[in-house]
Amino acid sequence: MKLSTFRALLIGATILCAALPSGAAPAVPEAAPSTAAAAPASPAADAASPAASAGTSAAGSAPGTSAAGPAGGSAPVTQSPSAADTRALDEEAQSLKKDVVDLNRDLYVLEEELLYPANTQVAVFLSMDVGSFFGLDSVELKIDRKEVANYLYTPREVDALMKGGVQKLYVGNLKTGSHELVAFFTGKGPNDRDYKRGASIKFDKSIGAHYLELKINDRQHRLQPEFEIKDWGE
């Protein structure tokens, strides 16, 4: 919870920083002159920033005024700089959006790494092959007799699974050693009857993330669905 708040705050801060007027941009190279790499970079940044600010700061300041000198004061504002400004602003907004998306992804990865370290992580996936003999309704998952997940499926989710989607049903932490996973599948079986089946597996968790996959297949010769758990190990 705290991590997600932290993530939201970071994204908010990024948006705020980027939303600052571009006139503030030259302050950045000045603020970090301590590193050797920053020193040669700053002239380039300074060189680049006027070019950028020519497009953006004019938009940020009054669009009706011009810094071009006395001629700018008397001449009416033409339409073309405004269009260019809009385009520059649009590009800036797009790059900002991309930055936010990238940051969000990085923070998500960081959150996953912190919450589920690789040495204790166990992840359970669910996939479905064909599925014409079974209409999935819900899956209940127990690890060492403790319920860890109970997922109810909507028709859209079942469609996605039948099209080849793989769902990350559960991710959690387990100590090293022997464990048992039990999965109960409920839904509609052949002839539209209520259907509930279980599958279980015993697995040894060692150091490193452990992956398991619940697979729902059609057993054509029996005209029945088949439920299996595949241990992908580490």
Partner 1 sequence: MRRIDECRRRLVALALLMASAAAVAASYPLIGQSAPDFALRAFTGDNVRLSEHRGEVVVLAFWSSDCSTCGAELAAINRSFSTYRTAGLTVFGVSVEDSRRHARQFAGAHRVGFQMLDDPTEEVSRQYAVDSLPMVVLIDRNGTIRDVHHDFGPQDEAGYRAELRRLLDE
Residues that bind partner 1 (CB under 8 A): 137, 151-157
| Residue with smaller CB distance to partner 1, 88 or 169 | 169
Smallest distance, Å, CB 156 to partner 1? 6
Please, which residue, 76 or 155, has the CB nearer to partner 1? 155
Q: Nearest approach, Cβ of 127 to partner 1 (angstroms)?
A: 19
Beta carbon nearer to partner 1, 91 or 159: 159
Residue 109 belongs to what H/E stretch? helix 79-115
Residue placing its CB nearer to partner 1 in the complex, 4 or 173: 4
Smallest gap from Cβ 4 to partner 1, in A, equals: 12
Minimum distance between the CB of residue 179 and partner 1, rounded to whole angstroms? 26
Measured from the CB atom, the residue of 188 and 197 that comes closer to partner 1 is 188
Are 181 and 200 a contacting pair, CB within 8 Å? yes
Closest distance of CB 153 from partner 1, Å? 6
Query: In angstroms, rounded to a whole number, what is the distance separating the alpha carbons of residues 82 and 63?
Result: 7
Q: Residue 78, class by beta-carbon neighbours within 10 Å (0-12 exposed, 13-18 middle, 19+ buried)? A: exposed
- Choice between 58 and 158, CB closer to partner 1: 158
**Could you tell me if 137 and 153 are in contact, meaning their C-beta atoms sit under 8 angstroms apart?**
yes
What is the distance between the alpha carbons of residues 153 and 96, in angstroms, rounded to a whole number?
36
State how far the alpha carbon of 184 is from the alpha carbons of 88, 112, 121, in Å.
Answer: 56, 27, 22
Supply 114's token pair.
């912190």
Q: Which residue has the tokens 């959006």?
A: 97
Least distance CB 138 / partner 1 (angstroms): 8
Q: Which two tokens stand for residue 224?
A: 């029945």
